[in-house]
Structure formats: structure tokens, C-alpha cells
Amino acid sequence: MRIGRYISEVTAADLPEVKPPAVEGYPAHWEADVLLRDGRTAHLRPITADDDGRLVAFYEEVSDQSKYFRFFSAMPRLSTRDVHRFTHVDHKDRVAFVLTVADKIIAVGRYERTEPVEAEVAFLVQDSHQNRGIGQLLLEHLAQAGRENGIDRFIAEILPENDRMISIFREQGYRVTGTYDEGVMHLEFDIDPTDTAIGVMSAREHRAEAASIETFLNARSVAVIGASRRQDTIGAALVRNLVLGDYSGRVYVVNPAADAVAGMPAYATVGDIPGEVDVAIVAVPAEAVQDVVLDCAAKGVHGLVVISSGFAETGEEGRKRQRRLVGLARSYGLRLIGPNCLGVINTAAGISLNASLSPIMPPRGRAGFFCQSGALGSAILEKVRGRGLGLSTFVSAGNRADVSGNDLLQFWEEDDATEVILLYLESIGNPRKFSRIARRVSRRKPIIAVRSGRTTQGVPMGHAVRSNAAPPAAVDAMFRQAGVIQVDTLDEMFDVAQLLAHQPLPTGSRVAVVGNSDALGLLAADAAAASGLSVTRAIALGAEATAGDFEDALDAAIDDDEVDSVVAVYIPPLNAGGVEVANVLAAVGEQSDKPLVSSFLGREGVPELLRVPDLAGNTAGRGSVPSYPAVEAAVRALARVVEYATWLARDDTVEHTLDSIDSAAANRTVNKVLMTAPDGRDLTVPETITLLGHYGIELWNHIPVDSIEAAVRAGEDLGWDVVLKATAHGLRHRPDLAHVWRNIEGEEEMAAAWESLSDLITEPGTAGFVVQKTAAPGVPVDVGGLEDPLFGPVVSFSVSGALTELVGDKAYRIPPITVLDAAETVRAIKAAPLLFGYRGSELVDVPAVEDLIRRVAQLKSDLPQVRSVDLTLVHATADGVAVLSATVRVEPVLDPRSDTFVRRLNVHPGDTATDRLA
């Protein structure tokens, strides 16, 4: 029976008794706040029996044509039996999702299992909400639910004239096949998340999130709710900054206790405003903000900027208030910046929007700035203005309850006014998504980030993030993988930004130093060496050098094929202003295809003397020469840019598919264990061998023994040349390796080994003795993976041993990892030379090590149920790798990587969409 024709063909005998069906449990993890194509929000959830009235109201708003397309017959209304069947599902064989705005259903999508691994899928969207990407969203979430329930393939029956539905299936990225019979198209497709399907989903996510931010930054009208006639209030400051910033749009003020504010008419509520309102700036007491949300939703406002404090930064009660605020805003289709934020700024000539508490309107420039700290925002804007850097846009997210840095990255990626992206991050709510987006954006535009709490991994009180088990080095590795330029301070961020915004990228690490101070020239050379740069040319001009001398020297340095960038140092002699030299620097900087940085008169930023006019109206044009008060700062900034240019030039497109991978079988192995151990457990040796085997990793067999007789039998079974070792946790990591006895060839040697180890170990009965074949000599390495609550999968690599643990010489990567990622992981540790023939030792099979890292990364990427996998001892030799010991722990997935295969807005820990509306 096809659900596309169900209503027209059903008989009374087909209907169940009118009573609640047996439902195993409401799948709350399927709930999601989602973003539609136009940047507005909606709430997606499984249908419930309580939706009967909502479903009837929804159906009445659907056109006759859409009803006909859905049911293949005229169905003007739903009967009581129809409603019952559609609202009573088992969330397994029969699944249905509803999409709601303001608690009203605007779309329904469902599937019904027709075969053990096949289900029929169908949708119905209210006509007024069509062309908003709803069908694609429903299909994504239904496919994910189907995969969880063991469904591999969807089928659909569609009328040929239903072009919209046909395009939904064909444009989803799945391989769709179809037949035509009796006037109906029959489509089939596997719902395995292919790379194409994931790419389509990511592209749609990008467009929707960018559209939601564009609403804020390109607002045509703004309402200040909480505007006041008192000059010392937040509301008055917001109005004043909008007006004095020459905002080109309409400004409305809302104050029920006043007739006018700042010479503008005041309205009692936002609903009384006669025109449309794109964005509302909210500055009312925290307890009144929810009422403002409802007023704005009724008015049709697109977005909220909540300046008000009194939310999560104040404690538990504030956190609950913030959750309710976000849930309410999203449920009514609104995105929200804040709360407890400074506001937003757009310096574009046609907009000039300063919807913030800062009286400083920064000069127009090429950098977009995202700042989580409201308190630091004003200081940052002051520093930007002082340096002459210039910004395109500025967003202060405050508690980052909804809009985050990920959303801004999506917007800035294609924003023509933004060429450099600056991030001040106090926390990262969804690092896995950040990594995915930043990898893509960094290919087009440099991203510079300062991360507070980098060492302590602490976050401000107002930020709700999941616990983090990954070490700080893993977070740093994520930034490096994504090409993000991570710096330690705000000053260093601006140092790098002013170089990237005005000068070309270097093609290498070779530097020329040109200056009229020998002492500063030496400092520059020392700083270059310390930063990984090499000074290939130094031109000392002497204290009396003229502008002409500088011009000749700079031209010679730039024309030198052995030079990739130039550092100019100018300290004026007595009674000299340096104007002529400045003109030379500006002229050379404008014409050069190599970056030129300077320490000019000890100035900081982009001094007016070194600026090139900009036709687009930015504060400084391309080719302007940045200056640094200390030459060391100039060199450090240059070194950061060289690192980014090197990352950008990498060939990361090499594809090499791993063979012998059976992720489906691995998933079955893990789930079989969890069925008998619902709280999770360590895998046995045979289970570990099986699981690793599904990823092409061969774990050497080792036989547990509890007596000398058993050890002898094991040696004989393995053909001798074996080792006897203790594997108990407290013993297997001994730095002196006294727990291992090697090259045992017979019964007498095994008896001696057993006696020796038994005497050494205090409690031999708990030592976990095993017998294993002796491995060929090699470099012992450790490859591991863990499931971090915040980051998802994390992979590590190191040379085994106590010294590695003492000095922390371990490299981390965040899956998925490429061939180049694996190669860089091996070379990232300080002990890497041991693998490459250090001091005459044999060169190991490094490609085999890289292959092993990729296999572990693939395992962790595929199986979030694997809490940890640790190949504790791998011998890397000239002939390959031998995995001698491994441990694996599996646990149920309590917090799935929910946005991997479906689009959904971030939900903070301890926070469900239903809870946030309570």
C-alpha cells in the first residue's frame, strides 16, 4: 500500500482501532530548530497524537492542487480516521515529522516501511511556505531517521506534473532512478549519505545561514525597543549612535511612556510602527524581553539584537531565561544576536549602520570582526580606529545564544566587502562545524583568531558549551588543519590583519631587510630566524640614507628572485620628518607583488603617510604599507602570513580511497556489544581483532595465559620466538620495559621468563600475562582516537614511551583527515626524525604509518559509539607496521553528532527544544 494513494484506497478494515498505538518512546533527539532558505527559523519534530487539531488546521490552509498532488485525488478535508492514522506513528516503521512556526504546522513529511529495508516517503507543504527549502529539510531528517531504523532505500510515487516534488528528490544529491506506470512516476534512491548528498546539504546550509546574517547587517529599517529620553541610558545611546552614524535606513523608537525620543515619534509597541521593521534592537529589562519577542513576531520582524543583560551570565536562573528566550525566538521564525551583546555595525557606504552601544563608527575597511565579548567590544573598536585598519562589518554576539561565529563565516565567505576575517572567541559551541566551514572559507579569505582561555580551556559564565575531554593541543590542531591563523593577543591579531588587508601574500619564507639602523637590522634577522624565516638579503643604508637610497634598495630587494618579502626599517635622523621616505615606501608598496612591511618612525597601524588611496572608499587602499612600533612585531606578523600562504599552497586534492573498509559490518559489531552491555564496556581481544579488521587493521594475535603450562602451550602454538609480557594497566607502560621478556624459543626459556616476571611483579595473578610472536625491530608508535563530547572524533599520534608522555610530544588531528593531513601528522611530532633514518637508523615505511592513521581516523569518523581506540604498541619497520596491542571501549551515543547528515541549529548542553519552550 502506497502512502501517496493511501486516502483514496483505504477501507475501514485497514484502519486501526481508535486508541493510542504502542509507542516505544518519543525520539526527542530528532527534534531540531532549523533554518529555511530565506534565513528564517522553524521547529522540526516528530508528530504526536496531540497534533490532531494542528494537523486539521494545517490541511485547511493547503490548496486543492497541493492536496491532489499529495493524495492523487480530491481530498478537501481529513476525516477523523485520517487524522488518527496520520498522528499516531511508531517512530520506527511509520515516522512523521512536522515543521512548525508559532506552534502552527506549516509542513508534514513522513515515511512508511514497505519492505525490511525500504520505505515510501511523501511530503505536504502549505502553499504560502513553498519555495523555502522545506521539502529538502524534511527529506534530510527523514533519511537520517530511516538510517537509524535500518532503512536503506526510499521510494516515492509522484504525479508527472508535480515538478517541485520531482526536483526535491533529483536535487538532493542521491542517485535517483525512476519508472513511469499508469500516469505515475515511481522514484527510488538509496539514502546512504554520499559525498554528493553531503555537499548539497552543506551548500544549502551555507546559503540559509548567510541569508540570516544578511538580514541583520543590511537591514533597511531598525526599531530600538527601550529607547529613552534620558541621555545616560542604553536605549538613548543606541538611538544616538544610529543617527550620528548616518544610517541610511529608517529608525523607529519604541517607548510606551513617551510621545517622542530624540526628535522622533515614539510608538507604544513595535506593532504600532506603520512601516516594516527588519531588525529590532532590544534594550529592556531581561524579564520583559520575551514579551518583546512575541510583539516582534506578530509584526513580522526578521531578527533581534538583544543588548539586555540578565541572562546566562548571571547564573542558573539566567540560563533558564536565556533558553526560553532562544526557544521562543526560533519557534516564531526569528534569529537572535546576543543577549548581553554590544550590537552590530556595517560601514558600507549605502548602509552605515551602527546598531551598537559603541559611539565609535570604525573607518571603512576590508576586515570583518566577530567578537563574543561585549565588554571588550568598545576597546576593540577604539584600537581598530587608532590603527587605521578599517572594518567592513562588526558583530558582538555576547552570550552567543543563537547567532555564532559559524554564521558569520558563512556570510563573510561571499561578502565582497570583506577580505580578511577576525575572530575573538571565548568559546566554540560547535567546533566540528567550525572546522568544516573554516577549512572552506580559509581557501578564499584568511581567518585570524584569538581564543581566550586557550591554556585553561575555561569559558565565560554566559556561554553554554559541552564538556571537553580533548587537550588544548587538539584544539590548536583543529585551527591549523582549517588554515586558521591563531594568534595569542589582540595586538598580534591586528598586526597580522593590517598586513593581510593591504599587502599581497608571500610565495616563500625568504626575507630581505632594508634599513638605516644596523642594530634594528640585527633584531629583525634574529626575529626572522626565531620565527622560521630566513634572511637572504640585508641592505644596511646607514643613518644618513636619503629617500632615493631607500628607493634603490627596496627596488633591488623586490627584484631579487631570492627574496619573497621585504622588511623596511626607518629611524629618522635629527630634524628629519621622514615624509620623503614615506612617499617612497607607499609608492613601492603599491607597485610591488611582494609584501612590504615596515617599522616606520615607531608608528603602529597604517599611518596616513603610508596609505594608498582607495577607490572603494576604504580607509586605506591595497598596497598601503603597515607599520609596527617594533621590528620584531613586524617579523612575527610576516611569519604568520607565511604560514598561511604555505597552507594555502598545499595540494590537498590528492584522493586515495582506503581499501578493506566495511563500516556497516563494524557498526553491527559495535551495536551487538551494546545490546548486551547498554552502559558500554571494553572489547575483548577477539572483538577488538574483528572490529579493527573491518578497517583493514590487522591486530597481532596474543594469547592470555595464567600459568606456566598455559604459557608453554601458547609458545608451542605460535611456533616459538615469542614474547611474554604483562598487560595490566599499571605495568604495560613501564619505561624500563621490565614487564616484557623477548625471543623465547623453548620451554626452559619460557619457565625462566615466567619466574623472572613473577618475581618482579607484586601480584602476578593480576598481571594480565600474554604470549605473542616476537615482532621485528622497529620504532614503537602509538595511534589513538577518542570521542570528545565537544569536538566529536579526535585522532592522536606519537612515538611510544615515557619520554613522549613527559614532554607532551603528541600530534592531534580532527577527522575526516586527508592524505596530506596524515603526512603532516607524522611529521608534526618532535620525535619524527626517528622514522626517517635518524643517526643512521633504518628508514621506516612512513606511508604505512600514514595509512594506519587514516584508518583509525576513518573508524572514529564512522563510529561515534567507539569511545576510545588506542593502538598502544605499533612497530613501524622498513617493511610496514605491526599492530601488537590495542584497546577499544564502546559506549552508547548519548550526544550524537547531530549536524553531520542533517541541518540543524546548535542546541546547547542540557537543552532540548521542548524544554526551551517550557
Cell of residue 899, nine digits: 549536524
Beta strand 447-451 with 420-425 is parallel
pLDDT score for 729: 60
899 near 433, Cβ under 8 Å? yes
DSSP symbol at 705 = -
Residue 286 has pLDDT above 90, yes or no: yes
How far is 506 from 596, CA to CA, in rounded Å? 10
Q: What is the rounded average pLDDT for all residues in the chain?
A: 89
Give start and end residues of each alpha helix (H) in 540-630: 547-559, 579-591
Residue 291: how many other CB atoms lie within 10 Å: 12
pLDDT-based confidence at residue 25 (cuts at 50, 70, 90): confident
Residues 6+ apart with CB under 8 A from 153: 117, 118, 119, 188, 189, 190, 191
pLDDT tens column, 725-773: 888 765 555 665 667 888 999 999 999 998 888 887 767 677 888 999 9
The continuous run of DSSP H or E covering 700 comes out as none
Residue 898 has pLDDT above 70, yes or no: no
Q: Is 229 exposed, middle or buried (0-12, 13-18, 19+ CB in 10 A)?
A: middle
For the ranges 87-101, 583-597, 616-630, 675-689, the lowest mean pLDDT is seen at 616-630
Cα angle 222-228-229, degrees, rounded to a multiple of 5: 120
Residue 4 has pLDDT above 90, yes or no: no
pLDDT score for 763: 73
How far is 122 from 115, CA to CA, in rounded Å? 16
Residue 450 has pLDDT above 60, yes or no: yes
How far is 405 from 438, CA to CA, in rounded Å? 10
The 3-state DSSP class for residue 466 equals coil
pLDDT score for 51: 97
75 near 60, Cβ under 8 Å? no
pLDDT tens column, 816-830: 899 999 999 999 999
366 near 377, Cβ under 8 Å? no
Cell of residue 910, nine digits: 542540557
How far is 532 from 483, CA to CA, in rounded Å? 18
Cell of residue 916, nine digits: 526551551
Mean pLDDT of 161-189: 91
Most confident of 192-206, 799-813, 846-860: 846-860
The continuous run of DSSP H or E covering 93 comes out as none
pTM above 0.85, yes or no: yes
pLDDT score for 18: 31
pLDDT score for 858: 96
Pick from 447, 493, 794, 497: nearest CA to 620: 497
How far is 625 from 600, CA to CA, in rounded Å? 10
Over pLDDT 90: what percentage of the chain? 71
Cell of residue 650, nine digits: 598545499
835 near 847, Cβ under 8 Å? no
| Cis bond upstream, residue 629 (ω within 30) | no
Q: Is 285 exposed, middle or buried (0-12, 13-18, 19+ CB in 10 A)?
A: exposed
pLDDT tens column, 643-679: 999 999 987 777 778 999 999 899 999 999 999 999 9
| Cis bond upstream, residue 339 (ω within 30) | yes
End-to-end CA distance of the chain: 39
Residue 802 has pLDDT above 90, yes or no: no
Mean pLDDT of 845-861: 97
Over pLDDT 70: what percentage of the chain? 92
Residue 103 has pLDDT above 60, yes or no: yes
Residues 6+ apart with CB under 8 A from 375: none
412 near 523, Cβ under 8 Å? no
pLDDT tens column, 139-154: 999 999 999 898 999 9
Taking the CA atoms of 164, 170, 172 and 178 in sequence, report the sign of the dihedral they define.
positive
Residue 2: how many other CB atoms lie within 10 Å: 16
For the ranges 172-186, 241-255, 468-482, 772-786, the lowest mean pLDDT is seen at 468-482
616 near 476, Cβ under 8 Å? no
Residue 876 has pLDDT above 90, yes or no: yes
638 near 533, Cβ under 8 Å? yes
28 near 914, Cβ under 8 Å? yes
Give DSSP secondary structure letters for 209-243. Answer: HHHHHHHHHT-SEEEEET--SSTTSHHHHHHHHHH
pLDDT score for 289: 96
DSSP symbol at 401 = S
pLDDT score for 901: 81
Mean pLDDT of 302-323: 95
Mean pLDDT of 498-521: 94
pLDDT score for 2: 44
pLDDT score for 916: 46
Mean pLDDT of 595-609: 85
Residue 10 has pLDDT above 70, yes or no: no
Residue 19 has pLDDT above 80, yes or no: no
pLDDT score for 620: 75
Q: How far is CA 420 from the centre of its chain?
A: 18
How far is 782 from 245, CA to CA, in rounded Å? 58
Mean pLDDT of 511-521: 93
pLDDT tens column, 186-231: 999 999 888 888 899 999 999 999 999 999 999 999 999 998 888 8
Pick from 761, 710, 729, 721: nearest CA to 745: 721
pLDDT-based confidence at residue 374 (cuts at 50, 70, 90): confident
Residue 546: how many other CB atoms lie within 10 Å: 14
pLDDT score for 896: 62
295 near 270, Cβ under 8 Å? yes
